[in-house]
Amino acid sequence: MAPFRVTQALSKCKIARNSIMFRMLHNDSSNILSDVPKAGILRQTLNQNNATKIDPRTYQAPDFHPSGIQEASIGRNQQGSADVVMQTYGSWHKRSMTGGAAWIMQDDHLQVIHGGCLQNYGVSALQMEVLACFHGIEWARVHRFHNVSIYTNSCNLVQLLQGSIPLDIALISKIQEIRYQALLLNWCCVKKVPKSQVRHAFNAAVACRAGVFPPSMF
Residues 108 and 196 in one domain: yes
Q: Is residue 41 part of a domain?
A: no
Assign 3-class secondary structure to 17-83.
HHHHHHHCCCCCHHHHCCCCCHHHHHHHHHCECCCCCCCCCCCCCCCCCCCCCCEEECCCECCCCCC
160 in Cβ contact with 96 (< 8 Å): no
Q: Are residues 136 and 166 in the same domain?
A: yes
> Looking at the DSSP assignment, which residues form a beta bridge with residue 165?
none
Q: Is 91 helix (H, G, I), strand (E, B) or coil?
A: strand
Domain shared by 55 and 27, yes or no? no
22 CB neighbour count, 10 Å cutoff:
8
Task: Check: CB of residue 180 under 8 Å from CB of residue 66.
Answer: no
**Residue 99 maps to a domain:** yes
Residues 20 and 109 both lie in one domain: no
**Number of compact structural domains in the chain:** 2
Question: In b/e form, how buried is each residue of 94-124, taking b as 16+ CB within 10 angstroms?
Answer: eeeebbbbbbbbbbeebebbbbbbbbbebeb
Neighbours of 5 (CB within 10 A): 18
**pLDDT tens across the length of the chain (218 residues):** 444 444 454 455 444 444 434 343 333 333 333 444 433 444 455 544 444 455 554 444 444 444 445 899 999 999 998 989 999 999 999 999 999 999 999 766 656 678 999 999 999 999 999 999 999 999 999 999 999 999 999 999 999 999 888 888 889 999 999 999 999 999 999 999 999 999 999 999 999 999 887 777 76
Same domain? For 55 and 147 the reply is: yes
Q: Are 61 and 165 contacting, i.e. CB atoms less than 8 angstroms apart?
A: no
Task: Report the sign of the C-alpha dihedral through residues 93, 39, 197, 185, in that order.
Answer: positive
Element (H, E) at 105: strand 98-107
The domain in which residue 32 lies consists of 1-36
C-alpha 15/C-alpha 20 separation (Å) is 9
Asked if residue 54 and residue 7 are part of one domain, the reply reads: no
Residues 169 and 94 in one domain: yes
H-run or E-run covering 106: strand 98-107
Task: Answer yes or no: is 42 within a domain.
Answer: no
What's the confidence (pLDDT) of residue 75? Answer: 95
Q: Which of 130, 150, 145 has its CA nearest to residue 86?
A: 150
DSSP-derived letter for residue 1 is: -
Within a domain: 70: yes
Shared-domain flag, residues 23 and 86? no
pTM: 0.69
